[in-house]
């Protein structure tokens, strides 16, 4: 049972345009969500996160939106740059109650390609 799903295996975008990566989850206990970026032969690198008490979080060109009623989050990259080409993973954690011990559940990943 895949509790976090990224239904688009790949996304291709022109440089300067917006990239929108989507993620759906099924576990209503998830209350902390993260996006990681991964280049080949490297480990995932933290990009941005959002707590369930918010519906939007911005950091420079990156914005994450959370729709709790739809159990959906998205990552917007504006403007997209060729260096953004990587695999993007969304992840979720159930932190309330203190029993998750920080465990993350990951989506399958989306390969983003930004063309010059």
Partner 1 sequence: NAGVTQTPKFQVLKTGQSMTLQCAQDMNHNSMYWYRQDPGMGLRLIYYSASEGTTDKGEVPNGYNVSRLNKREFSLRLESAAPSQTSVYFCASVGQWVNQPQHFGDGTRLSIL
Which range binds partner 1 by CB under 8 A, 11-19, 55-63, 70-78, 87-95?
87-95
Annotate each residue in 14-43 with x if it binds partner 1 (CB under 8 A) or - if it does not, as one string. Answer: ------------------x-x-x----xxx
Residue from 30, 75, 109, 112 touching partner 1 (CB under 8 A): that is: 109
Per CB under 8 A, does 51 bind partner 1?
Answer: yes
CA 17 to chain centre: 18
Residue from 44, 64, 84, 92 touching partner 1 (CB under 8 A): that is: 44
Burial of 56 (0-12, 13-18, 19+ CB in 10 A): exposed
Per CB under 8 A, does 97 bind partner 1?
Answer: no
Beta strands in 9-109 (DSSP E): 10-14, 19-25, 32-38, 45-51, 56-59, 62-67, 72-77, 86-93, 105-106
Q: Give the torsion through C-alpha atoms of 80, 66, 36, 26, to 10 deg.
A: -130
* Distance separating alpha carbons of residues 79 and 14, to the nearest angstrom: 10
Which range binds partner 1 by CB under 8 A, 10-18, 58-66, 75-83, 100-108?
100-108
Whose Cβ is closer to partner 1: residue 18's or residue 39's? 39
Task: Enumerate binding residues for partner 1 (CB under 8 A).
Answer: 4, 6, 9, 32, 34, 36, 41-46, 49, 51, 89, 91, 93, 95, 98, 100-109
């Amino acid at each position: 049972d895949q509790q976090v799903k990224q239904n688009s295996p790949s996304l291709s975008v022109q440089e300067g345009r917006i990239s929108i990566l989507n993620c759906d989850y099924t576990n209503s206990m998830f209350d902390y969500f993260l996006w990681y970026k991964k280049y080949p032969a490297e480990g995932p690198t933290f990009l941005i996160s959002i707590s369930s008490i918010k519906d939007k979080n911005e950091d420079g060109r990156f914005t994450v939106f959370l729709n709790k009623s739809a159990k959906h989050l998205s990552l917007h990259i504006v403007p997209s740059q060729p260096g953004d080409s990587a695999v993007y993973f969304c992840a979720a954690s159930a932190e309330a109650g203190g029993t998750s011990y920080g465990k993350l559940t990951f989506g399958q990943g989306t390969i983003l390609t930004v063309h010059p």
